[in-house]
Amino acid sequence: MDAKTVYAENKPQSSGDGLFLKLKDGDNVRLRVLGLPAVFDSEYEGKVSTKYSWPVYNHDEEKVQVFQGGATIYNALNALVQDEDWGDPVEYDIKVSRTGKGTDTKYSVSPSPKSKEVPDDIEQIDVVAITASSPFASNVRLLGEKKDEAPEDVDGAINLDEIPF
C-alpha cells in the first residue's frame, strides 16, 4: 500500500458534521472561501476578543459550512489577499491545519496551487445572520462595516437650553 492510501485511510475524523466546521488536533482540511467574513465580538471567561466567521465550501465534506477563527486565521488570509501572487481566496483553495489542544492550539493556513472546482449548485448562506444567532457573538457585522454606528440624527440639533435639568 502506498503512503497516500495509508494516510487517506487513517485520517482523523473532523467534527464538522454540521453547519459549523470544527477542527480537532491533527485535522487538515481543504476549503474554498465563498465571501467576506462576519466580524464579531466574543466573550470567554470575561475577556472579549474579535472573531471572524467565513462562509466556506469544505471539499472534504462536500458542503458549505461556517468556519470561525481569530486573529491568526484572519492575518494569514489577509496576507494572502495582499499578496499579488494569490489575491482573494474566493479564487483558489486554502488548506487549514490545526495542531495542539486547549491553549496550545496552533492553526496554519496555506494556499493550494491545485485548487478543485466548487460545484455550481452549492447553497448560499448568510454568514452574518448565522453568526448573529449565536448567544456568544455580539456586534456582528460583515467585514468592512462599521461597528456600532450611531443612528443618523433625524430630529436636528439639540438645544441644551431645552433640557429641563
Per residue in 93-145, pLDDT tens?
999 999 999 889 999 999 999 999 999 999 899 999 999 998 889 999 999 98
Give the range among 23-32, 109-118, 122-131, 147-156 with minimum mean pLDDT.
147-156
Number of domains making up the chain: 1
The CATH number given to whatever domain includes residue 91 is 2.40.50
> In this structure, is residue 161 part of a structural domain?
no
Write a three-state SS string for 115-145. CCCCCCCCCCCCHHHHHHCCCCEEEEEECCC
Residue 63 belongs to domain spanning? 3-146
Check whether 47 has a pLDDT greater than 70.
yes
> In this structure, is residue 152 part of a structural domain?
no
DSSP-derived pairing of the beta strands 63-69 and 20-21:
parallel
